[in-house]
């Protein structure tokens, strides 16, 4: 499954776009100016996504990759 398909499936499930997740991560204090803050662990972000949006591990990791700057 391609990265874009993961993102499309996440948007279908949650109603949130990649931009929405970037904004939400900043509001939660995980990112600043589009970059993951020093000291923030992947598990903190994936745990949040699993709990708040009921994402599975693979989909949560796709959002983590997005927040790290992956584009495709």
pLDDT in tens, 35-63: 999 999 999 999 999 999 999 999 999 99
Task: Give the model's pLDDT for residue 61.
Answer: 96
Domain boundaries, given as residue ranges, for the chain: 3-68
| Banded pLDDT at 70 (limits 50, 70, 90) | confident
pLDDT, tens only, 1-34: 788 998 999 999 999 999 999 999 999 999 999 8
Give the SS3 label for residue 39.
Answer: coil
Task: Give the model's pLDDT for residue 38.
Answer: 95
What sign does the CA torsion over 42, 68, 38, 51 have?
Answer: negative
pTM metric for this prediction:
0.92
């Amino acid at each position: 499954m391609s990265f874009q398909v993961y993102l499309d499936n996440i948007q279908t499930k949650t109603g949130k776009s990649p931009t929405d997740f970037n904004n939400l991560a900043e509001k939660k204090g995980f990112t600043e100016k589009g970059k993951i803050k020093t000291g923030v662990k992947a598990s903190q972000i994936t745990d949040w996504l699993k709990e708040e949006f009921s994402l599975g591990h693979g989909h949560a990791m796709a959002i983590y990759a997005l927040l790290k700057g992956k584009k495709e």
